[in-house]
Structure 1
């Protein structure tokens, strides 16, 4: 194809070649190329604007990252940073039989994942001590003066108010939960005390508090809360398996056919002075031996969703909880002694004997250490006993106090108990389960029935004089006292019978740990209570974050779009400058062409061909 040279029109430095067919209809080459660059910049700028404003909204920055950027880690051992605006607080008052305790909890903003629970921990002061306050006596002592209930609890609330930032009071939930001491009061007295609290507390404190936040909870509720608290601390509600044991669960109330596989939770055994309690998850649907048993089970099985989303089944649990009054270590000993006095007195009357009436003719007791002399009963009906330290005989005598029946799926007192998969389960034993194994026998931790019975037999058979010498030498746990030493034999046998004969744990069961602390801290049922009662708070956090996200996205988009429109305006200004500059060049070129060939300008302007132009091949 031929090329046309503009050697006359342009200087040597501006020498271009173009197709001859289209040259007459185009602008000068320098103008054309600069205009092409400008248009390219314009298109790139427009494309960039569309991509950023149309395809990269603020929602692409995930809520998870947004939450974590503002979240402050709440640790178990460090002092709580009360100046952190992202921390939330909650209060639980445990109104027990002997006293009341205020527990202060805190947690960072929820991470935005509705499948996760709040990360609730106990608040710690500047000395890293848990923020807890105790007062005595129990609130049930206000039964005759219920109008003083709010005065009674005032010091606890003042204590909490001092530790929580004032601007956080209005959003800090307060729960006052009463247990065993209040349960034994008549309902009218209970209500009078609760009503005084409901009326007066909002007058003096600005906590998030409503009528439903103060109540007398049942033993079943208390057991569920304890189960929740322990499993939360153990990390059992984090369903990432991480190599941990799992279990197949038929989720209560769910229509799904396949079982949900999630992390196995831990069961709880707790033996206090008065009562014994067991709580564990029932992963499979329960079958009943009779309609009566099914009716009984309704009061023992708790089905609940611990998560914030009622439509999610990740945290739906079916938990069996049963509390046995009179089956605690001290109460069992009292029943045993009452029975011993009754039987001895009856036998003495029938046979005309005086066994136990004098120290010289004591009643033999296999549940006390060998040669230990003791007195039981009241001053009016006192009995002298002498220990023989026979662990196996003691167990045999205690077996009848379990009130066990032959009916299937029953435990202590003939109470219904669902089957436990002992091959895939784990239990933690607290209170007397720990004291019996650790204080004297020094075997706390992983429970081994065979080693435990050997140690208990040896202790029971040891002469009391020797045991005292060991005690005086400091060979037992520092908090073990003479009372523990004296009744260790009885309580060892009682714990063994409750565990293996009452709850039917196999003697070769390997997954029981007797503990006082979980991860070096004491776990109270109040932790489970606040976890359960604040379970819907994450929804509030998620909704607030969504609203803030929309608002921030609008502001972000507005400023972002304006900034980039400014960028486009700059491009237009640059292009306009180029066009004006090129028009100026065109006028200069036109004058130069006129000087070179007068007849060339009409050809250039009208687009007509010229046969007289030289052609370069």
Structure 2
């Protein structure tokens, strides 16, 4: 380039600006253009790198936040036990016996809004790890010192299912229910003290102060409600399709900013002696109106301030309203209503006839079924079935005690307050007797339809008992025993009467399900118990992860806005780079074009060698 310039200066004396222009253009290219291009390229690559890193981090964070939803809550069988798996044991000490359940869960997902992914342990065949012993723990009221010997087989069984490496970190809960509640408090304490003293000497499980206790019926109902909704994934916050509901949170203006989350389901559990109902209350007005004994407020989150998992649940239990106790009360009512007739028969001339002549007609038994039953005083009463299902339903209404004064409207059974239920936006699950009554004989367990169920019940009740016995002997009803066949008519009428006349469910309600299993799981309140009692454990995992790995709740929602700002900044930088480039070009102005008279001839552009070749210039030499 230097040589060209010299040639230019030497040959083209008429255009002295040549070298100046060439030099200026070179300066522009090396100075303005190169620097501008380098700066722009650097900024562009930096912005692209920032966006890429942010998206990659966000993807990893989303994967971590969604870990709990990706870990299936289906069949919870694990063939190998990883070092990070945790275990828990819950022993249900009921009136008829005690059962042990073993649960496990992987590390917490890292999202403070997620609960632990607790699942029931299963054996290699896929069966739940459960063991039962009889009789109940309450039978040791006169010998509390033998309680630990009684419970030892259950602990040995659970120990054999848990790797030794994890046993020192395994939580143990022994929770007693109905039978133990009937004992004096001093006797209860003596039994629990024996367990608290002896078990730590033989087993390495984690035992805290309140791990062994007698729980109330209210607690048991709440645990059952938690278990059902947990299995149905109603406590999650993913994108799965779940009905939503607006919840009014105490201390917040919910009308201006309603809190939206997944709608939970209600439960109705009818056993042999009692019945429980529980469902969430979402209105603050209703919460304020409910008597405190009928309301349970609890938080399932690892922080007490977590409004995502704050629940207020209406829960009540009706003693004597279980199916078996209802039958006892019904028989007492029949005996009382026919006592005058029986008395007249006994004092008449026919008093020496067979007792069959004083049989009590029973519309709730199949036709011609003769049933002998002993009352509280030891007197045996004989009932003969007439199979009139509609009459049976009407005769059961007085047992609901609907005439008891209702001190706070609305009320259900026994004058007990029952908060308003939105039957257009709710769902209920019925357990125990609801399932057995619908499934064991009628085989229509699941979604309940009043008309279908009533038709099945009427058809069954009008059959003669001899015909039903014939069906039973042919094993046409493998799920039912003979007592179920005898009581099916009565229990069908009792179930529908309680549901529609007592609890005020509309006959056209389409969201009531009778269930025994949910997602192939046998629903037990023990699952709800361990979920509630381990709710603070995620705090330990969150502390390990460190605050740098935990983003605030607005983080994911702000990424879209953040990326939009990056794009705007990128466009601004490009425009500014172009503007600066154009401005720098003006620092080296271009000279005006000269006139045609000053334009050089063709020879002007020829080199020295070209001119010699054309004879324009003669070569001179220093040598002759």
TM surpasses 0.5: yes
Residue 333 of structure 2 corresponds to 339
Distance 1:395 1:308, change over 3 A: same
Deviation string, structure 1 residues 476-517 (Cα, Å, up to 9, x no partner): 2x1201101111111111111100011000111111111221
After superposing the two structures, state which structure 1 stretch, 230-239 or 181-190, moved more.
230-239
SS state of the match for residue 476, structure 2?
Answer: coil
Residue 181 of structure 2 corresponds to 183
Residue 513 of structure 1 corresponds to 513
Once the two structures are superposed, the pairs formed by residues 183-582 of structure 1 within 5 Å of their partners are: 183-240=181-238, 242-252=240-250, 254=252, 256-257=254-255, 258-287=257-286, 297-349=291-343, 352=347, 358-378=355-375, 380-405=378-403, 407=406, 408-476=409-477, 478-546=478-546
Structure 2 CA distance for aligned equivalents of residues 110 and 127 of structure 1: 27
Structure 2 CA distance for aligned equivalents of residues 214 and 357 of structure 1: 56
Cα pair 1:198 1:210 within 8 Å, conserved? no
SS state of the match for residue 237, structure 2?
Answer: coil
Residue 76 of structure 1 corresponds to 74
SS state of the match for residue 355, structure 2?
Answer: coil
After superposing the two structures, state which structure 1 stretch, 502-511 or 276-285, moved more.
276-285
Are residue 119 (structure 1) and residue 117 (structure 2) matched?
yes
Distance 1:310 1:359, change over 3 A: same
Distance 1:468 1:198, change over 3 A: same
Cα pair 1:337 1:377 within 8 Å, conserved? no
Distance 1:510 1:373, change over 3 A: same
Once the two structures are superposed, the pairs formed by residues 47-86 of structure 1 within 5 Å of their partners are: 65=63, 73=71, 76-77=74-75, 79-86=77-84
SS state of the match for residue 431, structure 2?
Answer: strand
Structure 2 CA distance for aligned equivalents of residues 69 and 501 of structure 1: 45
Q: Which structure 2 residue ranges, 5 or more long, are not aligned?
A: 7-18, 24-33, 551-624
Deviation at 1:349?
3.2
Count of aligned positions: 514
Structure 2 CA distance for aligned equivalents of residues 473 and 346 of structure 1: 42
After superposing the two structures, state which structure 1 stretch, 403-412 or 436-445, moved more.
403-412
Structure 1 CA distance for aligned equivalents of residues 286 and 269 of structure 2: 26
Higher relative contact order (CA 8 A, sep 6+): 1
Structure 2 CA distance for aligned equivalents of residues 302 and 538 of structure 1: 23
Distance 1:400 1:70, change over 3 A: closer
Q: Which structure 1 residue ranges, 5 or more long, are not aligned?
A: 7-18, 24-35, 551-617
Structure 2 CA distance for aligned equivalents of residues 66 and 398 of structure 1: 55
Once the two structures are superposed, the pairs formed by residues 4-23 of structure 1 within 5 Å of their partners are: none
Cα pair 1:250 1:283 within 8 Å, conserved? yes
SS state of the match for residue 441, structure 1?
Answer: coil
Once the two structures are superposed, the pairs formed by residues 20-31 of structure 1 within 5 Å of their partners are: none
Deviation string, structure 1 residues 555-606 (Cα, Å, up to 9, x no partner): xxxxxxxxxxxxxxxxxxxxxxxxxxxxxxxxxxxxxxxxxxxxxxxxxxxx
Deviation at 1:87?
1.1
Deviation at 1:391?
0.9
Under a length normalisation based on structure 2, what TM-score does the superposition of the two structures give? 0.75
Structure 1 CA distance for aligned equivalents of residues 509 and 324 of structure 2: 26
Deviation at 1:170?
2.3
Deviation string, structure 1 residues 37-59 (Cα, Å, up to 9, x no partner): xxx9xxx9xx99xx99xx99x99
Deviation at 1:66?
6.2
Deviation at 1:387?
0.6
Cα pair 2:268 2:278 within 8 Å, conserved? yes
Cα pair 2:227 2:527 within 8 Å, conserved? yes
Deviation at 1:348?
3.0
SS state of the match for residue 424, structure 1?
Answer: coil
Structure 2 CA distance for aligned equivalents of residues 317 and 380 of structure 1: 48
Cα pair 1:411 1:504 within 8 Å, conserved? yes
SS state of the match for residue 361, structure 2?
Answer: strand
Cα pair 2:279 2:313 within 8 Å, conserved? yes
Structure 1 CA distance for aligned equivalents of residues 389 and 68 of structure 2: 60
Structure 1 CA distance for aligned equivalents of residues 68 and 337 of structure 2: 70
After superposing the two structures, state which structure 1 stretch, 448-457 or 62-71, moved more.
62-71
SS state of the match for residue 522, structure 2?
Answer: coil
Under a length normalisation based on structure 1, what TM-score does the superposition of the two structures give? 0.76
Deviation at 1:81?
3.5
